[in-house]
Amino acid sequence: MATWRRDSRLTGGQRLLCAGVAGALSLSLTAPLELATVLAQVGAARGQAWGPWAAGLRVWRAEGPRALWKGNAVACLRLFPCSAVQLAAYRKFVILFTDDLGHISQWSSIMAGSLAGMVSTIVMYPTDLIKTRLIVQNLLEPSYRGILHAFSTVYQQEGFLALYRGVSLTVLGRVPAIGHLHLLLPGHIQLETKPDVLVRLTPAPPGFPKERDHLPFTQWPKPEET
């Protein structure tokens, strides 16, 4: 069992901003690797035996170094709404699975994280598809002039459901990982709080009602002197 307790040192907006900035930085640094991986996968599907490094080098020579960051803008822009959707959904599911004493089991935590990951993946999946389309296109002869034009073109030419092609496999791949990640979240929040508000780290003193042992230990009564 774990106890849900929010870290009060940062507001929700500050946590979201920190996560978004850190995520955007990491995505920007690894964008060429993501591009090389996608192009290698697409090349293999088309019968072209490209390795990741060969694909990246081919793009560098044909389209210039700027092409190595194709699709990175949409990947960074989706971080904030994706994080907001996932955190909001996770909190709702945690509240749903938490008992009256504020406790949540490990399996319930995994389930809450998995469901939250499923919700965020489904809501934000069109941005993943657009990112892949932007990566695959030739920057010198682009099929899409930008993010909004790509959304509009795919929707008008292929229909709304085209924005969700491959969503089932993406959900199956991300949900287990996100669920196990959130397994550590309640404990992390508890350990990051101040020592005087940690709960259930020490057994309740004799005579203290067991159903109230979720209270901070600073509120426990002092043991009676004998």
* Averaged pLDDT, 212-219: 45
pLDDT of 6 > 70? The answer is: no
8-28 pLDDT, tens digit each:
677 767 777 777 788 889 889
Query: What pLDDT, on a 0 to 100 scale, did the predictor assign at position 184?
Result: 54
Query: What pLDDT, on a 0 to 100 scale, did the predictor assign at position 131?
Result: 92
Q: Do 55 and 43 touch, CB atoms closer than 8 A?
A: yes
Mean per-residue pLDDT of the chain:
75
Residue type, 2: A
CB burial of residue 70 (10 Å; 0-12, 13-18, 19+): buried
134-168 pLDDT, tens digit each:
998 888 888 898 899 999 999 999 999 999 998 98
Query: What pLDDT, on a 0 to 100 scale, did the predictor assign at position 106?
Result: 79
Please, which pLDDT band fits residue 181 given cuts at 50, 70 and 90? Answer: low
Task: Please choose, from the candidates 124, 192, 197, 137, the residue with its C-alpha nearest in 3D space to the C-alpha of residue 164.
Answer: 124
Give SS3 for 225.
Answer: coil
Task: Dig out the tokens for 93 from the structure.
Answer: 């599911």
Please, which pLDDT band fits residue 7 given cuts at 50, 70 and 90? Answer: low
42-58 pLDDT, tens digit each:
764 455 656 777 778 88
- Rg for the chain, CA atoms, rounded: 24
Residue type, 47: G
